[in-house]
Structure 1
Amino acid sequence: MSAIPLTPDQLAALPQQLPSWEILNGKLRRELRFADFVEAFGFMSQVALVAEALGHHPEWSNVWNRVVIELITHDTGCLSDLDLRLARRIDQLAAHRVA
């Protein structure tokens, strides 16, 4: 799937479209907390399936109940429509799981 870099207007709209995310060092970043490790890992498993289906994979880390996700499109070297799509899907999953 070919990625389309976000325009300056699209980048400016991100805080309104994705209020749970921040732009840090050119990447979309979100930190989530769960009840425990099992819930955090279960969430990561769900995201992994979505990411694989999109062919776009996050940079992320997990420590006990905390998951940190960073998105950037390495092929373009910037944020793209793929990052926006994956962030929206992550938000949908998180709405049902976040402690």
Structure 2
Amino acid sequence: MKKLTDFEIEKKLPALLEWEYFDNALHTDFEFDNFKDCMSAMNRIAFECEALNHHPEWSNVYNKLDITLTTHDADGVTELDFKLAAAINKIVEVEEE
């Protein structure tokens, strides 16, 4: 998979609500009502990760989930990261405010 340029990433980023690009990766965080809801979302995301064979760097503390996406084999962000980020947003149901 080809690493995207900074220009390509910045052009695609507005389509991903609540995601940022820095440190050679896409980043977001979510806050849920409680731990159970957070873990439920993580489990649903895990199934999508397995289907895409692409896995995030993520951490969870109680009801908060931090996610970082980068393609290590490409040493940066690829189309696969954007595909997984879009799938994560659908799972978590990110909406415009």
Superposed CA offset, 1:55-98 (max 9, x none): 000000000000000000000101001101000000111117xx
> What are the within-5 Å matches in structure 2 for residues 25-64 of structure 1?
25-64=23-62
Letter in 2 for 1:87: A
Gaps of 5+ in 2: none
Residue 69 (str. 1) matches residue 67 (str. 2): yes
TM-score, scaled relative to structure 2: 0.90
Superposed CA offset, 1:1-54 (max 9, x none): xx2322344212133111310112111000000000000000000000000100
Residue 82 (str. 1) matches residue 80 (str. 2): yes
Matched residues, percent identical? 34
